[in-house]
Amino acid sequence: MELCEGGELFDRIVARGHYTERAAAAVAKTIVEVVQMCHKHGVMHRDLKPENFLFENKKETAALKAIDFGLSVFFKPGERFTEIVGSPYYMAPEVLKRNYGPEVDVWSAGVILYILLCGVPPFWAETEQGVAQAILRSVVEFKRDPWPKVSASAKDLVKKMLNPDPKRRLTAQEVLAHPWLQNAKTAPNVSLGETVKARLKQFSVMNKLKKRALR
């Protein structure tokens, strides 16, 4: 297995000075490219989350790599799965309904993108049951800061990745063809603000504490 010494995704973002929509677009593009590659080879990851992406090394230009394919499965076109697997915040509604296919990976990538842009998950509650209920309601909120200063194109992509109907959700290929990712290098370079970085740090710390508690 390849050794990735560059650290976790959120830790790197927090350590950087200036964090912008353009930086979020570059990360999102890499994540969706991983999803597209998996699906092209008939693999559904089923556990996409920020902790499963590490930087190869500490250089500014380091590649972002996906790790932990422990819950991944091979799938055939049209095949449906019923096993509830994955991490609560990132589960698609159809996983909770026990009837899903590879579209779940695009949903999880959409959740990561939402967090990258505002610092908190779109479906949040104090308990896992509460999170599940929020996911099934699938109401995505764009009113709180920093959403008013996030581009309409970025919000459009988030909405299309978090469509609760898997048949209407974008495929990984369609996500990569979306104007926001097509123009990732020219996405707004205005800072998303210190609040977003502070939230990302808090979210990252909370996840690490939960992991320790489960050991």
Structural domain includes residue 172: yes
One-letter amino acid identity for 199?
Answer: R
Structural domain includes residue 47: yes
Q: Which residues are catalytic?
A: 47
Structural domain includes residue 139: yes
pLDDT of residue 215: 40
Structural domain includes residue 4: no
For the chain of 215 residues, list the mean pLDDT of each consecutive stretch of 10: 60 75 92 95 94 77 79 95 94 98 98 93 92 97 92 97 98 98 89 86 78 48
Structural domain includes residue 199: yes
**Domain tally for the chain?**
1
Provide the domain limits for residue 151: 9-214
Structural domain includes residue 3: no
Structural domain includes residue 1: no
CATH number at residue 115: 1.10.510.10
pTM across the whole model: 0.90
